[in-house]
């Protein structure tokens, strides 16, 4: 990554939503490292910026060995507020396209992260068995292709 990209990632980390930080800390320990690993290990990772170039969202997908479909992930900053509806609309279409291509999308979300769970449900997610990571309750989710 070039210096400019690192600066963007630092700004993203500094403005990351508290619920996303809580999820990343519970699931992976070090938040900044989890962000880097998410981007680096993905077959596709995307960043979304606001009108003034401020970081809003990082999201992506990765193939996991011996598992069907794709693991998907998404994290956002506090600056995303004014863009939430537009992101929800666009991301739903992206997730539907990915689900069609890969058959199933999956991951787990913090059971405490109500905004993320509402967004996932709106995107077509079904919720499965709970699990615990880092002392926090999570719930598995799946988005199936049609």
Domains parsed from the chain with CATH numbers: 3-144 (3.40.630.30)
Please tell me whether the overall predicted TM-score, pTM, comes out greater than 0.85 for this model: yes
DSSP letter at 42 equals: -
> Under DSSP, is residue 19 helix (H, G, I), strand (E, B) or coil?
helix
With vertex at residue 131, the alpha carbon angle to CA 126 and CA 135, rounded to the nearest 5 degrees, is 135
- Measured distance CA(121)–CA(103) in Å, rounded: 17
How far apart, in Å, are the Cα atoms of 87 and each of 67, 80, 123, 128? Answer: 28, 9, 11, 25
When pLDDT is averaged across residues 20-30 and rounded to a whole number, the result is 96
Q: Quick check: 4 pLDDT over 80?
A: no
Tell me what percent of the residues of the chain surpass a pLDDT of 70. 97
At residue 111, what are phi and psi to the nearest 5 degrees? -60, -20
Are 42 and 22 contacting, i.e. CB atoms less than 8 angstroms apart? no
pLDDT at 1: 46
């Amino acid at each position: 990554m070039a210096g400019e990209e690192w600066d963007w990632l630092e700004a993203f980390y500094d403005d990351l939503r508290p619920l996303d930080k809580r999820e990343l800390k519970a699931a992976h320990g070090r938040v900044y490292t989890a962000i880097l690993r998410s981007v680096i290990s993905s077959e596709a990772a995307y960043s979304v910026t606001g009108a003034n170039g401020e970081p809003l969202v990082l999201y992506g997908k990765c193939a996991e060995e011996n598992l069907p479909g794709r693991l998907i992930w998404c994290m956002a900053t506090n600056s995303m507020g004014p863009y939430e509806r537009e992101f929800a609309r666009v991301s739903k279409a992206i997730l539907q396209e990915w689900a069609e291509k890969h058959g199933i999308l999956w991951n787990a979300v913090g059971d405490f992260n109500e905004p993320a769970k509402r967004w996932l449900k709106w995107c077509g997610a079904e919720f499965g068995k709970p699990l615990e990571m880092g002392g926090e309750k999570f719930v598995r989710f799946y988005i199936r292709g049609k």
